[in-house]
Structure formats: structure tokens, C-alpha cells
Amino acid sequence: MIHKQGYANRPLSVICTARTGSSLLMKILEKHGYWTGGDKTIRPKHPVGCFENLGIQFGILRRSIKAPGSLNAKILRKQVMDRISSQGYQGRHRWAFKLFVAFFDIWTECFPESTYIFLRRDIEAVKRYRSRVGFAHRGEALERYKKVEECVKDTAFFVDYENIISGDYSQLEPVFKKEGIKFNREIIDDCVEPGLKHF
């Protein structure tokens, strides 16, 4: 059961598209004490998980945009809360959610009090990496990514993937300050593996 006076209504939402480094950022947040979900999607290159919470992303949220008008934000929010509650979340800790840009609009309706991080990565680098690993290139997803970036330019915290892997964590400090979380550089150092510079 989720504690009503806790943090359930205020997720830290990481806006991203595939291959922008979101798994690394979610790992950093988890190591700083954020609850990141019980469905982490373990993969060979991501042994600690991708933190995608697919039951919410491609279950609850995708269904809602495929059938517009069938569910309102209040009902969707309850479905999300029920899902994370079933995964063990009780509302007493801050939680972070990896938010694909396709679901940005409905998520903002469900959680208007959310704090947003827009995870930025050079588009050409994203395309190159997708091609290298055989990931299907979807131009519309990258177009949506750029549109959402413009939409949140005055409201979100911007974090550049390239800065993190180069050891510059300054963009994360104001996020943790707002959230009331102690910034720990050593934790991030442990998360950033040398091989990520070639990711």
C-alpha cells in the first residue's frame, strides 16, 4: 500500500529516447536512493537492468495513446500507482521513472507535480550507435525527441550524456539540490565505467 503523504505523486521523470544513456542515469539515481521499479529489463550489456518498467511504458501508457479518450489521467495515474505498489513501492522514498518521449504528453497529465530531467545526447551519435547494434532506426522517435526538448526547455533540468561520461557531473548537482538528495560524486564515478566513452 502506498503511503499517501509520501513521494508517490512527485516522480523524478527522466525524458529520453533509446540509446541516449538513460540506463546509466537511472543507475546513478538508484544508487542515490531513488526507487526505480521492480521491472528493470536485464540484458547482457545491462546486467543491472535498463530500468524501463515495461509494464507501465508499453502496457498502461501505450494502451492509452492507442485508444485516446478511453481513459482519463486520473484513472491512468491510479493504474501506474497500482503497478508500482505491486512491485513493492510504498511511497516513503523518492522514485524515478524512465520516460520515453512517446509518452511524455500523457505522463505530464498523470503527474503534473513531477520534476523532469531531459537527457540530452547528440542525435548523430544516437543514430550511429543504433546502427552499430542493429537497433531499428525510427526517424519519428528522434523527431519527437527534439520536439519534447523544445517543449521543456524552460521547465526541465538538462543533463548531457557526454558530460557525465567525461566526468563533468555539474548538471546533476542542481537536480539533487532541488530534490533534497545529497550529491555523491564517488557514487557516480563507480557507475561510469571506462567503456561507456565508446558507447
pLDDT-based confidence at residue 184 (cuts at 50, 70, 90): very high
CA distance linking residue 91 with residue 35, whole number of Å: 9
- Domain encompassing residue 22: 12-198
Q: Does 2 fall in a domain?
A: no
- Residue 174 included in any domain: yes
> Residue 5: its pLDDT value, please?
56
Query: What separation in angstroms does the CA of 49 have from each of 24, 37, 82, 145, 158?
Result: 10, 10, 22, 23, 23
Tell me: the pLDDT tens digits for 63-104? Answer: 887 766 656 888 899 999 999 999 889 888 899 999 999 999
pLDDT at residue 39 is higher than 70: no
Asked, for residue 67, whether it belongs to a domain, the answer is: yes
Is 6 part of a structural domain of the chain?
A: no
pLDDT tens figures, 106-142: 999 999 999 999 999 988 877 776 666 555 556 788 8
Confidence of residue 198 (pLDDT cuts 50, 70, 90): very low
Residue 5 lies in a domain: no
pTM across the whole model: 0.88
Average pLDDT, the chain: 85
Number of domains in the chain: 1
Across 26-52, average pLDDT? 77
> Does pLDDT of 3 surpass 80?
no
